[in-house]
Amino acid sequence: MKTERFIQLRKEGLEPHFTKKSLTKLWRKKVKRQLRNSEIRDIFDYYDFNYSIESRSETIRSDVLDGAYRAQKPLVVKVEKKMGICRHLIFPHPADALVLQTITEFVFDVIKKCQPSENAFYSRDRTSRKLPHEISDDYSQDWFSQWKKMQKTILGFSESKKFVISTDIANYYDNIDLVTLREKVLGYVKEKDESGVLVDLLFRIIEDISWRPDYLPYKKQGLPIVTLESIRLLGHTFLFEVDAILKSKTKQNFTRWMDDITIGVDSRKETNEILGGMSDTLKSSGLELNLAKTHLYSSEDFAYNFLIKTNIYLDSLKEKKSLSGSEKKSFRKAFTEHLRDKKPQYWSKITKRFIHLHANFKIKISKKRVGELYVEHPVLRDKLCKYLKSMDYSSWSSKLVIEILDRLDMKDDIALFYVADLVTQWNIPVTDQSNDFINKMYCRIELKEPFHFLCALWIRTKYDHPDNLLRFVFDFESEWKKEPFLRRQVTATMSRIYKYDTEKIESALKSQTQSNDISTVSIANHILDFADKKTIEFHVNSYLFPNNLRRYTLERFLVLCSVLNSDEVRQEGEIQRKVKKFVTDKYYLRWLDVSYNIS
């Protein structure tokens, strides 16, 4: 129920920001890309949301301006930090991601002006440009530009200062007091948001998506770990007081990357003064420095821990298109030497650079080494899977994946999804050998946890015969119906088996339209509606058959299936011609023949 306060004072603070036009534009420009680049992706690419974005934007606007908007239940997954200790990563519903980004667009410009120092950085999704050396689309150029600037700043003051302090904040996100954070943000934006309604909506969504197991009460402490700009901006903002102190104390000889702080000093006395002042300031806000990660480095220590010489060597290679035989030999030797000493603070970051260059130059890393790195160093798993994607499917790479699964402790959800995603992105030939590999994958993914089921679903959606996929979906119906995100993913896979048993799938889809999860209702209605289409719009055609497409992903293939489920659309000669031109994956071609008689 709304009060007169909302109608007279607060609603007008929301109206300029939540327009149908601005929400639609922001989704297409930024939010869609953010979700597409998340560690866990939607198997249908949220295309149902994207297809009807204008009507979705109108609904969001109406809910927000009615004072009735609430975030939906997010997906929560575990990500291993070390030795089985996991953090919880939150993946919000696309509508919630759009609302969060809308508020961020407003507060960023205001907060940016309040930032005490330009030497503090955090990742920004402000451009769609990509770096030429990247294997995939993980980071925007703004991120890389800021990172390079930070490195130059570190190198600059390390040459003029006798010592370098390196420190971070213990359990930073978990210990942020949200009451204090809200007060800080309100203070920064009060001139632009007099009623504070945007900030209140922001923190309402944060409360809704925070991990709260076992019916425990909400403590108003700890930012949820979300791979969206809005949450990173808040984490960045909370440390502005520390930035102001360091700017004054060090004369700008410091850098901060979120909660990782590096400071240039000339004496141990100066070190004690700066760290003591920082510690007191942080403790007054419920935070404290991580003593185990607080170090004072001489110039020699700094060069060792930040691996300056190795960085310079890798920089000399990154613009090369290929390496000569002698250069490859030197590169392998440098990598082997680097792996022998894991003590430097930047060891994992530089290891990622080595792996990245192995992928660029198509240089094999031994199976034993890849397996050990994947199992023993969780922070490297994402980069190792990108490396294996770049090396393509082979007897060597497939055996390596099986060895990794045999050794992998399944406590880490993300680690298993990386492998499932890798396997679905390979263009695997249809042979007895590849079929044996896929069956070995199935045997190694136990379905004890909902997320394990999701990983198995991704692989089966690409490689299973329609009859097997149909059986898999309905045999485990009682399990996947319990989890909203999983329910949506399974419903999306029905687009691939719709023509195999139309009557059964139509009945299942109609059943899902009656569920309480609006995301599942959306995808079910989308598949049913597309099956009745007489023709496809230009923007659908552009999505399915874009220029400069490197690989036809599983997500795009499921959207294609939803289009081909229409008899009228499927029989168009131009559609069949484009399908044959753009779809080259051997298994996709097999299912196009089996389900749609397109060969």
Looking at the fold, whether 20 and 145 belong to one and the same domain comes out as yes
What's the rounded Cα separation, in Å, for the pair 100 and 559? 27
Report CA dihedral (312, 315, 321, 327) to the nearest 10 degrees: 20
Q: Does residue 346 belong to any structural domain of this protein? A: no
Looking at the fold, whether 291 and 405 belong to one and the same domain comes out as no
Query: Which stretches within 445-532 are classed as H helix?
Result: 450-463, 466-475, 477-480, 484-497, 502-512, 518-531
Angle (CA) 137-72-447 rounded to 5° is 70
Q: Does residue 327 belong to any structural domain of this protein? A: no
Q: For residue 126, what pLDDT is reported?
A: 39
Looking at the fold, whether 287 and 430 belong to one and the same domain comes out as no
pLDDT in tens, the chain (599 residues): 678 888 887 888 999 999 999 999 999 999 999 999 999 999 999 999 999 999 999 999 999 999 989 999 999 988 888 877 888 999 999 999 999 999 999 988 888 889 999 888 886 443 333 332 332 333 333 445 554 555 556 655 655 788 889 999 999 999 999 999 999 999 998 877 777 899 999 999 999 999 988 888 888 899 999 988 889 999 999 999 999 999 999 988 898 989 999 998 999 999 999 999 999 999 999 999 999 999 999 878 888 998 988 988 999 998 899 999 999 999 999 999 999 999 999 999 999 999 999 999 999 999 999 999 998 999 999 999 999 999 999 999 999 999 999 888 767 788 899 999 999 999 999 999 999 999 999 999 988 888 899 999 999 999 999 999 999 999 999 999 999 999 999 999 999 999 999 999 999 999 999 998 999 999 999 999 999 999 999 999 999 999 988 899 999 999 999 999 999 999 998 999 999 999 999 999 999 999 999 98
Looking at the fold, whether 287 and 388 belong to one and the same domain comes out as no
What's the rounded Cα separation, in Å, for the pair 212 and 109? 32
What's the rounded Cα separation, in Å, for the pair 415 and 224? 20
In a 3-state reduction of DSSP, which class is residue 166? strand
**Rounded-to-5 percentages of helix, strand, coil across the chain:** 60, 5, 30
Sheet containing 120-121, strands listed edge to edge, beginning at the edge strand earlier in sequence? 120-121, 254-257, 260-265, 163-168, 295-298
Gyration radius (Cα) of the chain, Å: 26
Q: Does residue 359 belong to any structural domain of this protein? A: no
Q: Does residue 444 belong to any structural domain of this protein? A: yes
Q: For residue 294, what pLDDT is reported?
A: 96
Phi, psi of 436, deg, nearest 5: -65, -40
Q: Does residue 66 belong to any structural domain of this protein? A: yes
Q: Does residue 317 belong to any structural domain of this protein? A: no
Looking at the fold, whether 278 and 397 belong to one and the same domain comes out as no
Q: Does residue 324 belong to any structural domain of this protein? A: no
Looking at the fold, whether 407 and 276 belong to one and the same domain comes out as no
Q: Does residue 462 belong to any structural domain of this protein? A: yes
Q: What are 89's strand-pairing partners?
A: 77, 225
Looking at the fold, whether 290 and 418 belong to one and the same domain comes out as no
Q: What are 168's strand-pairing partners?
A: 260
Looking at the fold, whether 412 and 551 belong to one and the same domain comes out as yes
Looking at the fold, whether 212 and 74 belong to one and the same domain comes out as yes
Picking from 269, 296, 323, the residue at the C-terminal end of a domain is 296
In a 3-state reduction of DSSP, which class is residue 91? strand
Looking at the fold, whether 394 and 272 belong to one and the same domain comes out as no
498 contacts: CB under 8 Å, gap ≥ 6: 505, 506, 527, 531, 561, 562, 565
Q: How many separate domains does the chain show? A: 2
* Model confidence, pTM: 0.89
Phi, psi of 82, deg, nearest 5: -170, 135
Q: For residue 84, what pLDDT is reported?
A: 78
Picking from 268, 296, 324, the residue at the C-terminal end of a domain is 296
Element (H, E) at 244: helix 240-250
336 contacts: CB under 8 Å, gap ≥ 6: none
Write the burial class of residue 288 (CB in 10 Å: 0-12 exposed, 13-18 middle, 19+ buried).
Answer: middle
Domain range enclosing 49: 4-296
Count of positions (residues) in the chain: 599
Work out whether the CA dihedral 315, 321, 322, 324 comes out positive or negative: negative
Q: At what angle do helices 413-425 and 395-407 cross, to 10 degrees?
A: 160
30 contacts: CB under 8 Å, gap ≥ 6: 101, 125
| DSSP H helix total and E strand total for the chain | 33, 8
Q: How many CB atoms lie within 10 A of CB 433?
A: 10
Task: Let me know: does 452 contact 445? Beta carbons within 8 Å.
Answer: yes
Looking at the fold, whether 282 and 395 belong to one and the same domain comes out as no
183 contacts: CB under 8 Å, gap ≥ 6: none
Picking from 241, 265, 296, the residue at the C-terminal end of a domain is 296
